Structure 1
Amino acid sequence: MASHKILVIDDSKVIRMRVRDMLPKGNFEVLEAKDGVEGLNLIRQEHPNLIMLDFLLPKMSGWEVFQHIQSDATLQSIPLVLMSGRKEEVTEKLQEPFEFFEFIEKPFENKELIDAIKSAMAKARLPRTGKIAAPAAAATAPAAAAAAGGGADAAEVKALKEQVARMQAEINALKKQTAQILAFIKQKLK
């Protein structure tokens, strides 16, 4: 019996099969959805342990599915890996760094997939201070908080310090990954 349900929402059967093949055998039940509507229905019915979501989908886009997930407190805690062949499609709507989900660019290799899943699981455990806002709303939020004044300042400073600490941890992890990649390339060039 599989201990974890992974939902792969992608209109490409090749990507869905590739993810299924890359996962360690016996540990996962892989559920598949070919469009956003089917994916959202499966999320609500099956309560998966992980969601892998393509950003461009028929019927309901990955962006719309993402917004549904973020607006439901019971779904926010599910680790999420967004997938796209073009990262700029995602960063157009969601600003980096991606705080509560992971992003993987297609096509990807086995190690990249496993690393993205591990990172998504770690990010899903982070405490949330609010909903993920769209870029336009995110830009106006600091001004609104400043206008509210007083007691919000200390909480805002604390939240910013926590965010800086998380970002520093991500930077350190990226530096480590870069060093590993360079070591791998040097090894292959010998």
Structure 2
Amino acid sequence: MPKVLIVDDLESNRYVLKTLLKLFGPKAGVEVLEASSGVASVEIIRNEKPDLILMDVKMEREDSGIEVVKVIRTIPEFRDTPIWAVTAQAMDAHDGMESDKERSLRAGFTEHITKPINQAEMLRKIADTLGLHIPDRIKKRMGI
């Protein structure tokens, strides 16, 4: 049973991602874990060993996804775990400054997904990453 950890300080954002993951259906057996801060996520990651982490980059508390992903990548067993930045941060590179996507990838994220998310694309990426099947009725409904 694949485990997905959603890390976001806003409950409404976690709800959107949880709802999306439910589209795989009960047969997929996706276990959804949640953390409302980066600090809390590190303990959950150590204890639950998620197969995929979806993390907001800019949270209201003292921690940011950029700093947290750097910490996670220092833990040997999580160096290769897919960690996706799911963020409203979408500034392009300019005046010698790197883009938000480049910054996320350099910090250790494996993907940079901008909000609002394209649900069909996100569902496909998750399915590919976790080896899950998207039910035909969902494919038809979402035009996948």
TM-score normalised to the size of structure 1?
Answer: 0.55
Residue in 1 aligned with 2:110? 101
Counterpart pick for 1:5 among 3, 6, 11: 3
- C-alpha spacing 1:55/1:25, structure 2 compared with 1 (3 Å): same
**Conserved? CA contact 1:80–1:120, under 8 Å:** no
> 1 or 2, which has the higher helix percentage?
1
Per-residue deviation, residues 19-38 of structure 1 (Å, max 9, x unmatched): 11111122211111111111
Q: What SS does the aligned partner of 2:123 have?
A: helix
Indicate the RMSD between aligned Cα atoms, in angstroms. Answer: 2.7
Listed as ranges, the gaps of 5+ residues in structure 2 are 92-98, 132-142
Count the aligned residue pairs: 120
Code of the residue aligned with 2:100 in structure 1: it is V
Higher relative contact order (CA 8 A, sep 6+): 2
Counterpart pick for 1:90 among 67, 76, 100: 100
Listed as ranges, the gaps of 5+ residues in structure 1 are 123-183, 185-190
**Conserved? CA contact 2:5–2:50, under 8 Å:** yes
Find the aligned partners of 2:54 and 2:129 in 1 and give their Cα distance. 10
Query: After the TM superposition, which parts of structure 1 deviate over 4 Å for at least 4 consecutive aligned residues?
Result: 118-122
Is 1:61 paired with 2:64? Answer: yes
- C-alpha spacing 1:74/1:85, structure 2 compared with 1 (3 Å): same
Greater C-alpha Rg: 1
Find the aligned partners of 2:124 and 2:108 in 1 and give their Cα distance. 16
Q: How big is the shift at 1:102?
A: 1.2
Q: % of aligned pairs identical? A: 28
- Once the two structures are superposed, the pairs formed by residues 122-133 of structure 1 within 5 Å of their partners are none
Q: What SS does the aligned partner of 2:31 have?
A: strand
**Conserved? CA contact 1:37–1:59, under 8 Å:** no
